[in-house]
Structure 1
Amino acid sequence: MTLALAIFGLAVALSAIMTGAWWIALRSGKSGWIDAIWSASVGVCGALAAILSLDGDVPSARQLLVAGMALAWSLRLASHIASRTAASDKDDPRYAQLKQEWGESARSRLFWFLQIQAAAGFALVVSIMAAAHYPAPGLGLRDLLGAAILLAAVLGEAVADRQLSAFRSDPANKGKTCDVGLWGLSRHPNYFFEWLGWLAYPAIALDLTGGYAWGWASLAGPVLMYWLLVHASGIPPLEEHMLRSRGEAFRRYQARVNAFWPGPAKPASD
């Protein structure tokens, strides 16, 4: 299989999958399925891109490692979002706000919005692919560093999600803003760890000597994910929703705790 054909096939697959996600979201009324399907599709397509053989050889140890990393990330994230969506009787507030703003054109605009998500997913798949096909023989320290970064990110995001779930399950916290554990260091620790995981692929693929030009494509993952989470579909719409639902209490939380980068909270002001 040629590289061009493989890349084209992955792009078409992601577009088709997100078309299916659009249909499921419309039929179910739960837009949370979109993010679960997107996470799973990026992981599966990324793993396929990782083990893809362009010369007929069996996949190398690095290709198998990177494929496993992509699948581990997507399995945890997709299953978490899917279980949360299945347990809720409400639409995802970010998508609900978008559909309200789009009005009568919501159906068609959601379709094209998800095609943009497919394009973003394709960039992440390319990042995975670039790491998997780094040409150095065997596994080295950089491969182990990449795996360690991804493991730390997956565990950190899982801890943040569990802390938030435990906080919300306590009736005494109804209407309050979670500021315990990692949520006292960052307003969005789950987003921070999500971004951190994408640094695993440049750790493996980047060759500063210029010997592997494709390695620079691995930066697409962390750069794109940072922009999406911090400036586009992550923090901005979620915090707008939190301000509407939590009001002044969330404003005080914003004043004390960093939005993205973990750090000590500021003293509460009177």
Structure 2
Amino acid sequence: MDNTTLPGLIGYSLIACCVIMALVWLWSYKIKNAGVVDIFWSYNFPVIAIILYLFAPGFEPRKLLICSMVVVAGLRLGTHLALRVLKHLHEEEPRYAHIRKEWGKNAERKMFGFFQMQAVSNVLLAIPFFIIALNTSPDLSWIEFTGVVLWIISVMGEAIADTQLSNFKRQSANKGKVCDTGLWGYSRHPNYFFEWLMWVSYFVFALGSPYGYLAMISPAIILYLLTKVTGIPTTEAQSLRSKGEAFKKYQDKVSVFVPWFKRNNAHT
């Protein structure tokens, strides 16, 4: 397998991510905490970026730019999640505990499959990175710089949202309360919004490369996952279980996703 061709780059990236997730599953099996998968889902993107930087035949400055962006974003989010998960490493997050309960006696086997699907999703979502890293054009275009600007906004916005929520939870007086300050007063999920915007920025960056329009699949998948599968639905279901009426009032007051639109007694 030629590691400088698209199939080779995809193959090596997939092998690396699957091996990492298999090892993470073994760890999660030992400590009975599937929450660690979120940490390494984020860290797998820098792994893919390093593979692309080392082996993809694209224009060096372009590769350095996109790979640096992916490494910074992946390490920031992964480390933020690690700090949260490691605080209660031997106490599984409620959403994963709920999934484990639903899966019953087949939970660990299904969890292994879930971890491997996360590895596959890493490679699938990395489509913009492959497209960009294979572009040999010696000129960076304005659309690529537009993608960089959007990326800066998204990473800063997500970091601010994460910090605001962490600071809120750190105060003992807020135990059992719903964070509705800062960006969280305008969106129930500003972190998810900026995470999605980050993938939009990768798509915009990829538009400067041949077949860049194919990169649209990444923000589309992320939007679907966040709004329909593992993001907002599971997070809000857990919040309703743990905070009850307080979170229902918050749902009525604050927009589900877009941070600059504040609702006025409307329903999602």
TM-score of the alignment, normalized to the shorter chain, above 0.5: yes
Conservation of the 8 A alpha-carbon contact between 2:56 and 2:133 = no
Distance 1:174 1:112 in 2: 35
Identity of aligned residues (%): 37
Q: Does residue 85 of structure 2 align to residue 85 of structure 1?
A: yes
Note the aligned Cα RMSD (angstroms).
Answer: 1.8
Displacement of 1:51: 4.6
- Tell me, yes or no, if the aligned pair for 1:51 and 1:63 is still in contact at 8 Å: no
Say which is worse superposed, 192-201 or 122-131, in terms of deviation: 122-131
Would the aligned equivalents of 1:127 and 1:221 in 2 still touch at CA under 8 Å? yes
Query: 1:74 and 2:74 equivalent?
Result: yes
Deviations 1:200-239 (A, max 9, x none): 22212226xxx822x1232122111111111111111111
> Residue 191 of structure 2 aligns to which amino acid in structure 1?
N
Superposed CA offset, 1:120-143 (max 9, x none): 111122221112333432223222
Q: Distance in 2 between matches of 1:268 and 1:51?
A: 52
* Native 8 Å contact 1:32 1:81 kept in 2: no
Cα deviation digits, residues 54-88 of structure 1 (max 9, x gap): 4xx8x521111001011011010011011111112
Q: Secondary structure at the match of 2:126?
A: helix
Name the counterpart of 1:161: 162
1:228 and 1:156, CA in 2 relative to 1: closer, same or farther beyond 3 A? same
- Contact persistence 1:42–1:125 (CA under 8 A): yes
**Which stretches of structure 1, 4 residues or more, deviate above 3 A after TM superposition?**
none
Change (3 A) 1:52 1:216: farther
Gaps of 5+ in 2: none
Matched ranges for 1:1-270 at <5 A: 1=2, 2-54=5-57, 59-89=59-89, 90-206=91-207, 212-213=210-211, 215-267=212-264
Q: Given the superposition, is the C-alpha separation of residues 160 and 138 from structure 1 closer, same or farther in structure 2, using an over 3 Å criterion? A: same
Q: Contact 2:6–2:130 (CA<8 Å) still a contact in 1?
A: no
**Which letter does structure 2 place at the counterpart of 1:240?**
A
Question: Could you tell me how far apart the structure 2 residues matched to 1:246 and 1:175 are?
Answer: 6
> Unaligned stretches of 5+ in structure 1?
none
Q: TM-score, normalised by structure 2?
A: 0.91
Q: Tell me, what secondary structure is at the counterpart of 1:136? A: coil
